[in-house]
Amino acid sequence: MPHLETWSRLPLAVRDHLVDRMHDRNISIDDLNKLRLWIESKPTVPDGNWYKDFGSFMCGQGRYPKTFLLPGQVARGDRL
């Protein structure tokens, strides 16, 4: 299984997309910090669809956290 990429190694387009979603969905700094700490732990993730629940949002998909879902939105893949 691959490791989740760190924020600095994410492709610029992916980072921009996540920042846009963060603003659109009013994700708090505290919740983003939970994601940051998890990313810094260099977790292994499946190649395909997966998701991790951070309480007020979920993220997932491959080596990059490409999706920020709000509670109630349907996530695809394996729950981590």
Q: Report the relative pairing of strands 78-79 and 50-53 from DSSP bridges.
A: parallel
pLDDT tens digits, 13-29:
888 888 888 788 777 77
Q: Residue 2's pLDDT is what? A: 78
Q: Cα(75)–Cα(80) distance, rounded to whole angstroms? A: 12
Given a cut of 50, the residues of the chain with pLDDT beneath it are none
Q: What is the DSSP string of 6-72?
A: PGGGS-HHHHHHHHHHHHHTT--HHHHHHHHHHHHT--B--SS-EEEE-SS-EEESTTS--EEE-TT
SS3 of 4-22: the string is CCCHHHCCHHHHHHHHHHH
Q: Residue 16's pLDDT is what? A: 86
Q: Residue 49's pLDDT is what? A: 86
pTM of the model: 0.72
